[in-house]
Structure 1
Amino acid sequence: MKFLLIALFATAASAMIAPLHTVKEKIDGSYIVVFNDDAKTLASVSTIKNSPFFSSLGGRVDRVYGSALNGFAATLAPKALELVRRFNFVKYVEEDQIMRIDAVASWGLDRVDQQDLPLDNSFTPRNDGEGVNVYVIDTGINPNHVDFGGRAYTEASMDFVSINRGGVDCNGHGSHCAGTVGGTTYGVANQANLFGVRVLSCLGSGSNTGVIGGMDWVADNHVKPAVASMSLGGGPSQSSDDAVTRMHNAGVTVVVAAGNDNEDASNHSPARAPLAITVASSASDDTRSSFSNFGSLIDIFAPGSSITSCWYDSDTAEKTISGTSMATPHVAGGAAILLAQDSSRTPDDVVNTMTSEATSGALTDAQSVNLLLYVG
């Protein structure tokens, strides 16, 4: 082992330095280290992690990724950061950043099962999503809420926040999103299975390293047919975008929020990830919601203004809130319906079918593709 360490660090000293990707709201000292695709993750991480030399420079490996990314999350002092960037198996290093929720019997359900206004006060989708597994990567879920009908699951292995609550929601946002995906009353696919992958705290925020930890878990542990619903976001992040790609390639349909800054979605991750289904928000009058991001990266719109769904603080709680966070689970539910109809569909099949069947041209001020989710 001693000679292996000497060789490894000698290689680092002579290697070209890997790029460092900076972010807007960085978490000081926290980084995501991404390896080349052909690097042996566990062997490389183990060598670095167990090295007294690495530790003496102020380095600590916090979390290892093996599915959504090939690499690890680490706390790195400046000298340790420089050392890591010089390893020839490191593709890039990215500063960790703060990630937040995207949120500022609902009208939204009524809207997505018909193509024209006025609303007809009914919801009749083509199926109920039974047998599809939806992974809600968010603040967790209240698994005991009556609207989930025993179909919501949480456990400690699905919790990636520093204070582990076993995936149980203490914010409300995740339960609300899960309710819109698959609640008996509020859900688009009201018999889908729901898994609370907790990556955001009781305050509704968290780290990119934690979010990618949740994505890594889903990429590695999902059961098909599978959908991931991500009503969260932050600044541009190559590691987040790469993790979406790996989830997609593993067979998970990934649905993400466009963001709530009334600006181009290309300024946000995972909204800008090429293989995600990026969702903008519409209001009940078929206008783009005033807060919704827009642009060429938008794949589809769904209802996101004044959406009522489950809440976290009792087993019957409900709340009405707005955001592209609320639009996203409508689309995740729509994806579940398509997969329940044909479980052999790939993520590409899902987005192609969804967009080809969407209501076209109904929206005002879309500033994006003019497609509204349709599940009738």
Structure 2
Amino acid sequence: MTGFFRALLCAPFIFLCAHAHAEGPARMVPNGDIQDAGWALGRLNDGGDLARTSYSYQETTNPVRLYLIDTGVKQTNGWATWFKRNPKLSIIANVRVGAGKAKAFTHGTKMLSVIAGPETGAAQGTPIQAVLYDVYEGTTEANSDTDPGNIASAVLNARSRHLSTTPRIPGVICIASGTQTPESSYTLKSSIDAAVAAGLTVVVSAGNLNKDVAEGYIPAVYGSSAGVICAGASSTTNTKYSTSNWGYPVDLYAPGENVRTIDYDTPLSGGYDTMSGTSPSAALTTAAAIIELSKNPALTPAEVESRIVGTSYPAAADFYPPPATGQAQFPSEIATLVQVEPSPEPDSDFDGSADILEVFFASNPADQNDRPASLSLAQSAGEIAVSFEVAQDQFNPADIYNLANGSKWKVQFSPDLNLWQDAAGTLSIGTAADGRIPLSFTAPLLNQKGFLRVQVIEPPPAAE
């Protein structure tokens, strides 16, 4: 088990945060667990456990903007009451794109419930500001459809909102739509490219035709661009769901068979409906991206995609369907499943600071009002210093990086939040007072963006 505080360096300015990367102090709050969450959410925690139906999620603190481009979302009567049961979800705008009055609501309502709904949402522990776009036209739910122009307009509107938001809030665009025949759209591609360039991560669904999306189905084909994540659908047995498209440029897969959603007809606690196909897969992937951005708001869309793909779970090698006679062999690489990191270190007093950190930083893990003090950063003459206080009864000046309880600690540096290495520098030890020892770690100031963290690592359990 490890715990860590992180400091974000952006020369010539220096920002400090705890557990998340944002300007100013930020803290984690208690974690959430759902014992009966259904197979899809359970698979997000452990891609290899086919029996798991519990789901553990982190309650993060940095807000993320969700731009859901879909049908309308039902927000009257029971639906509004149901969504309000997640206090971290706020619907800040409803935008109608296209002609006519909104008629379709089922698909978008279920999508939002998979992303952030109480009981069914994968990102229900993250503060989400939802901008809901209704791009579908038609007089009934059954005959409602849309065109690439409507989606492109919604994407450009999301980009404009993102750029005009002060302070800038990280955002994810979710598009779970697709064509039934091969098609291209310069307008849609240009709008998606512009959104990514503006800092918005885009998630698209692979489509439900059981075909190779390299044939040109949109918007799935844009998954080949960095910062655009194309999600296929997996089954309960970690194989490709029967209707899901596959192949390049699908980046990964997420549960897409009978995924638990809000009960659209009767939106009450404990009552659920299901949804299948690549739409819920895109919603679950969107939730994973939202959680990642809440933990690390400084990530670019390409970095979000790299993190999501890089932490995914390898599924069965025969995930792709066999080729028909006379057709080329499908890719041999192993498909991967989206994962969401479960609750981190124990936090006995639910104050947002892990017990292992409270012991190290000399605060009381049983007292919500006693939390570790923030680290401080200062730079001068080509150097940067990280200063903090540690518990006197844990720190040994003769063996500075090994603690009395068997834990170890270190200062680490990363240029990209992925690769971490021990930071080179010198440690200065101050005079103990009130059970605390002040420490200052001084390192050369690098001419690049980077991240520092103070990491505390628990000893392995004793052998029985």
**Range of TM-score over shorter length:** 0.5 to 0.7
Query: Residue 272 of structure 1: SS of its match in structure 2?
Result: helix
- Tell whether the 8 Å contact from 2:71 to 2:105 is kept in structure 1 after alignment: yes
**Residue 228 (structure 1) aligns with:** 173
Alignment-mate amino acid for residue 131 of structure 1 = P
- Please report the RMSD computed on the Cα atoms of aligned residues, expressed in angstroms: 2.2
Equivalent runs, 1:339-354 vs 2, <5 Å: 339-354=293-308
Report the Cα offset of residue 109 of structure 1: 0.6
**Residue 249 (structure 2) aligns with:** 297
> In the alignment, which of 148, 156, 170 is matched to residue 104 of structure 2?
170
Query: Residue 254 of structure 1: SS of its match in structure 2?
Result: strand
Query: Residue 57 of structure 2: SS of its match in structure 1?
Result: coil
Tell me whether 137-146 or 296-305 shows the greater mean CA deviation. Answer: 137-146
**Residue 111 (structure 1) aligns with:** 43
Equivalent runs, 1:1-376 vs 2, <5 Å: 105-127=37-59, 131-143=63-75, 144-148=80-84, 149=86, 151-153=89-91, 155=93, 158-165=95-102, 170-190=104-124, 191=126, 192-201=128-137, 202=141, 203-222=143-162, 223=165, 224-234=169-179, 235-266=183-214, 267-273=216-222, 274-275=224-225, 276-310=228-262, 312-313=264-265, 315-316=267-268, 318-362=272-316, 364-366=318-320, 370-376=335-341
- Tell whether the 8 Å contact from 1:141 to 1:154 is kept in structure 2 after alignment: no
C-alpha distance in structure 1 between counterparts of 2:205 and 2:47, whole Å: 22
Report the Cα offset of residue 333 of structure 1: 0.1
- Tell whether the 8 Å contact from 2:69 to 2:132 is kept in structure 1 after alignment: yes
Report the Cα offset of residue 107 of structure 1: 1.7
C-alpha distance in structure 1 between counterparts of 2:191 and 2:256, whole Å: 26
Bigger radius of gyration: 2
Closer, same or farther: CA 331–231 of 1 in aligned 2, 3 Å: same
Number of equivalenced pairs: 268
Report the Cα offset of residue 195 of structure 1: 2.3
Query: Residue 334 of structure 1: SS of its match in structure 2?
Result: helix
Deviations 1:54-105 (A, max 9, x none): xxxxxxxxxxxxxxxxxxxxxxxxxxxxxxxxxxxxxxxxxxxxxxxxxxx4
Closer, same or farther: CA 197–145 of 1 in aligned 2, 3 Å: farther
Closer, same or farther: CA 354–129 of 1 in aligned 2, 3 Å: farther
Tell me whether 191-200 or 147-156 shows the greater mean CA deviation. Answer: 147-156
Report the Cα offset of residue 145 of structure 1: 4.8
- Tell whether the 8 Å contact from 1:286 to 1:364 is kept in structure 2 after alignment: no
Percentage identity across paired residues of the two chains: 23
C-alpha distance in structure 1 between counterparts of 2:313 and 2:61, whole Å: 20
Alignment-mate amino acid for residue 373 of structure 1 = V
Query: Residue 291 of structure 2: SS of its match in structure 1?
Result: helix
Deviations 1:275-304 (A, max 9, x none): 321000000110100101011201110001
What TM-score, normalized to structure 1? 0.66
Query: Residue 253 of structure 2: SS of its match in structure 1?
Result: strand
Deviations 1:124-178 (A, max 9, x none): 134457611111100021231513536242645x11131244xxx7331011111
Closer, same or farther: CA 129–183 of 1 in aligned 2, 3 Å: farther
Report the Cα offset of residue 118 of structure 1: 2.9
Report the Cα offset of residue 193 of structure 1: 2.8
Query: Residue 121 of structure 1: SS of its match in structure 2?
Result: coil
Closer, same or farther: CA 227–138 of 1 in aligned 2, 3 Å: same
Alignment-mate amino acid for residue 295 of structure 1 = G
- Tell whether the 8 Å contact from 1:179 to 1:187 is kept in structure 2 after alignment: yes
Query: Residue 146 of structure 2: SS of its match in structure 1?
Result: strand
Structure 1 residue runs without a partner (length 5+): 1-104
Query: Residue 111 of structure 2: SS of its match in structure 1?
Result: helix
- Tell whether the 8 Å contact from 1:129 to 1:336 is kept in structure 2 after alignment: no
Query: Residue 345 of structure 1: SS of its match in structure 2?
Result: coil
Closer, same or farther: CA 361–207 of 1 in aligned 2, 3 Å: closer
Report the Cα offset of residue 213 of structure 1: 1.4
C-alpha distance in structure 1 between counterparts of 2:50 and 2:274, whole Å: 21
Closer, same or farther: CA 115–313 of 1 in aligned 2, 3 Å: closer
**Residue 24 (structure 2) aligns with:** none
Deviations 1:22-56 (A, max 9, x none): xxxxxxxxxxxxxxxxxxxxxxxxxxxxxxxxxxx
- Tell whether the 8 Å contact from 1:362 to 1:372 is kept in structure 2 after alignment: no
**Residue 459 (structure 2) aligns with:** none
Closer, same or farther: CA 137–311 of 1 in aligned 2, 3 Å: farther
Query: Residue 55 of structure 2: SS of its match in structure 1?
Result: coil
Closer, same or farther: CA 194–362 of 1 in aligned 2, 3 Å: farther
